[in-house]
Structure 1
């Protein structure tokens, strides 16, 4: 992936929504088998012992202890045993959605990785199983955190991770929209204008844009404008009116949006950093004295 695609892909997968339906450890029976079926969910198999086979997308594998396999949704699969020494495996079924698209339809990865020191991953699966059966207030937070670690680990260890070619065109178009927004941040941008940049219908742009960034186009534009305003308040002497004008926003609307995003009115936000950047009182006293006597500082 080129840098622009990587940046957009990072924004895209940040919005993944996980739904874990089952997690367990099983020593499979000799009757464990299925042939040419296509699940509507993803599976992870972490092999701890035994023998057997998996077929994923027409390719046959003979997993070994220490292998972690991803069997993605929508892919033709088969599995079975080969003798009495059956698999002992940690496993889970899950969905990982980014809008209406599954994470592993958006990304193409290796089918499996081999782990030389499986103790860490074994513990993560134990944690996953534990939190999946808890009903405490924070159990889902722990579950998602643990599961994201497992998925991130798998992706980091894969030889290849790339954007599925079917989604590349949409990503490029959204990336063009993001660049256009950045270059025209002070203009009165409209949804119709952005849709023309992407060559999408406006309603379709809203859906694809939100899948990619987690925000609607107008919320994304406002966030970018407020982030730029924060920099200007901290590092320039521009007054509030000039800043709002430079961002193409009415001052009342700008002030309201700024407070909504940051929790502070623009003037109070600037004062926070003025206070933070003040030198110690003893130094400030010397500066003030030099200004009083000479009109300039000696520092």
Structure 2
């Protein structure tokens, strides 16, 4: 993936919407089998031990211990046992969408990858399962963080990754806009100003932008501002007021927006890194 596409995907993935349906560890029974069905969710299997098979479309795989398998949503698939020593596996069912598009319809990735550091991935799944089972009010955040870490590990092991869906066209239209936003977070950016970069009508631009990123232009700008603010609070000594002004925001309004996005006041967020 060239530098232009990497820049686009880095910004595009900031709009990723995740939802975990179930996460667990299982020693599958001999009856573990299903053939030629089409699920509406993605499935991750991290094989710790045993043997069996998974299939996507007409391709069948026999993952070994230490393998991470991704079975994408809305694809014909099968799975089953092949002997007495059945899979012991960590697993997760989840959705991952970008502006209504399944993530793994937009990216071409392998079904099975070998993991370089299985104990590290096991620890990620342990965190995911613990968060999924926890009643704590912060558990949803921890659950998403753990799943994001697992998906990042999967994509790292899947290199090179190819884009296969509409983002190719969106790259040409939106890369310059996303770069402009990054460079002008301190400015009073408007939809009209951003639309003018592509010579689009503002209403049409807003539709294309949301279809591409999953967010409206203003939502995207505010998210990038809060991302930068979190980094500055964690890694610099800038005051809250100075950070707000560096983002072109009045300090009181900035503090209110930051708490809406993170659940913490800026000072509380900084203290969590102390």
| TM-score, with structure 2 as normaliser | 0.71
Structure 1 alignment gaps of length 5 or more? 228-256, 264-299
Once residues 24 and 182 of structure 1 are traced to their aligned partners in structure 2, the CA distance between those partners, rounded to angstroms, is 39
Partner of 1:194: 195
Once residues 259 and 81 of structure 1 are traced to their aligned partners in structure 2, the CA distance between those partners, rounded to angstroms, is 61
Q: Against the structure 1 CA distance between its residues 198 and 95, is the aligned structure 2 distance closer, same or farther, given a 3 Å change threshold?
A: farther
Aligned residue among 256, 259, 262 for 2:250: 259
Partner of 1:10: 10
Partner of 1:123: 123
Structure 2 residue 118 is matched with structure 1 residue 108 = no
For residues 23-46 of structure 1, what are the alpha-carbon distances to aligned partners after superposition, in whole Å with 9 as ceiling and x for unaligned? 111111111111111111100001
Q: Against the structure 1 CA distance between its residues 102 and 205, is the aligned structure 2 distance closer, same or farther, given a 3 Å change threshold?
A: farther
Q: Against the structure 1 CA distance between its residues 171 and 85, is the aligned structure 2 distance closer, same or farther, given a 3 Å change threshold?
A: same
Once residues 82 and 122 of structure 1 are traced to their aligned partners in structure 2, the CA distance between those partners, rounded to angstroms, is 24
Partner of 1:172: 172
Structure 2 residue 70 is matched with structure 1 residue 64 = no
CA contact (8 A) 1:110 1:159 kept: no
Once residues 178 and 67 of structure 1 are traced to their aligned partners in structure 2, the CA distance between those partners, rounded to angstroms, is 36
Partner of 1:292: none
CA contact (8 A) 2:51 2:62 kept: yes
Structure 2 residue 209 is matched with structure 1 residue 209 = yes
Q: Against the structure 1 CA distance between its residues 152 and 183, is the aligned structure 2 distance closer, same or farther, given a 3 Å change threshold?
A: closer
Q: Against the structure 1 CA distance between its residues 58 and 182, is the aligned structure 2 distance closer, same or farther, given a 3 Å change threshold?
A: same
Matches within 5 A, 1:35-50: 35-50=35-50
Aligned-residue RMSD, C-alpha: 3.5
User: Secondary structure of 2:55's match?
Assistant: strand
Q: Against the structure 1 CA distance between its residues 124 and 181, is the aligned structure 2 distance closer, same or farther, given a 3 Å change threshold?
A: closer
Once residues 144 and 223 of structure 2 are traced to their aligned partners in structure 1, the CA distance between those partners, rounded to angstroms, is 27
User: Secondary structure of 1:12's match?
Assistant: helix
User: Secondary structure of 1:45's match?
Assistant: strand
CA contact (8 A) 2:35 2:79 kept: yes
User: Secondary structure of 2:250's match?
Assistant: helix
Partner of 2:78: 78
Q: Against the structure 1 CA distance between its residues 63 and 219, is the aligned structure 2 distance closer, same or farther, given a 3 Å change threshold?
A: closer
Aligned pair count reads 233
The CA deviation at 1:4 is 2.2
Structure 2 alignment gaps of length 5 or more? 229-247, 256-274
Q: Against the structure 1 CA distance between its residues 68 and 219, is the aligned structure 2 distance closer, same or farther, given a 3 Å change threshold?
A: closer
Partner of 1:55: 55
| TM-score, with structure 1 as normaliser | 0.66
